[in-house]
Chains A and B, each alone.
Chain A
Amino acid sequence: AQTVTQSQPEMSVQEAETVTLSCTYDTSENNYYLFWYKQPPSRQMILVIRQEAYKQQNATENRFSVNFQKAAKSFSLKISDSQLGDTAMYFCAFAALTQGGSEKLVFGKGMKLTVNP
């Protein structure tokens, strides 16, 4: 079974600074996707970024980038130039690629990020 661990329950950062959220996972699969989802106070789950495990290049979406270390099973999210609107819960998630079928999206417990003015 796959597991996703977010060891930091809460972090805070000053506006315009850079912050890194950590995530580790455990799996015996070789092909999979990793995701970071954001959940603002409205409770909506919003996809921030995703990474295919077979790609060596780290994914980037504007101010959001990941550091994917496959051997270490680590998948951290870096938020540059933090904005007040980044305040939210952030969830790391994992999904295995299976041929001819589907897999569950497994979430970590989440981490609360607060961006202070």
Chain B
Amino acid sequence: DAGVIQSPRHEVTEMGQEVTLRCKPISGHDYLFWYRQTMMRGLELLIYFNNNVPIDDSGMPEDRFSAKMPNASFSTLKIQPSEPRDSAVYFCASSTGTGVFWNTIYFGEGSWLTVV
């Protein structure tokens, strides 16, 4: 299996620009997670989906952030407009279950975003 695939791996953009991060989960996984990692705040869960439906988006920092999962094999995290404080590594992860059916979460390699 190819694992969780994220793109781009690195992006540098100017403040105010729109940023779109992409993720392809592992085939057959019905949970998809978006995490953000910064030095100050560590790893934070932004949003997660179950069967393409957003379940909990309470970690999304503000309205500038949005996430979609149009089908089981693709998700996007969009930041519009971007700000320097959005600079971070964004991880996508997937699993076959959580809660009482908890299984291992597999992470992608991350998208390193720098907003200047």
Residues of chain A whose beta carbon lies under 8 Å from any beta carbon of chain B: 33, 42-47, 50, 91, 95, 97-110
Q: How far is the CA of A87 from the CA of B83 in the complex (A)?
A: 33
B contacts with A: majority SS? strand
Taking A43-B109, A104-B56 as contacts, is the C-beta distance between A50 and B104 under 8 angstroms? yes
Name the segment of B14-22, B65-73, B74-82, B92-100 touching the other chain.
B92-100
Q: How far is the CA of A33 from the CA of B101 in the complex (A)?
A: 11
Q: Is B43's CB under 8 angstroms from A33's CB?
A: no
**B55 interface residue, CB < 8 Å from A?**
yes
Question: Which of A42, A97, A99, A110 is within 8 Å of B109, CB to CB?
Answer: A42
Output the nearest chain B residue to A98 by Cβ-Cβ distance: B99
Residues of chain B whose beta carbon lies under 8 Å from any beta carbon of chain A: 31, 33, 42-43, 45, 48, 50, 55-56, 59, 89, 91, 93, 98-100, 102, 104-107, 109-110, 112
Shortest CB-to-CB span from A58 to chain B, Å, is: 18
Shortest CB-to-CB span from B10 to chain A, Å, is: 11
Question: Which of A44, A47, A98, A104 is within 8 Å of B45, CB to CB?
Answer: A104
Q: How far is the CA of A102 from the CA of B43 in the complex (A)?
A: 18
Taking A102-B48, A102-B50 as contacts, is the C-beta distance between A45 and B93 under 8 angstroms? yes
Q: How far is the CA of A113 from the CA of B10 in the complex (A)?
A: 25
Q: Which residues of the other chain, A, contact B110 by a CB distance below 8 angstroms?
A: 43-44
Question: Which of A43, A100, A101, A108 is within 8 Å of B89, CB to CB?
Answer: A43
Could you list 5 further interchain pairs (A-B, Cβ under 8 angstroms) beyond the known A100-B100, A102-B55, A104-B45?
A45-B107, A91-B42, A98-B99, A102-B56, A105-B98
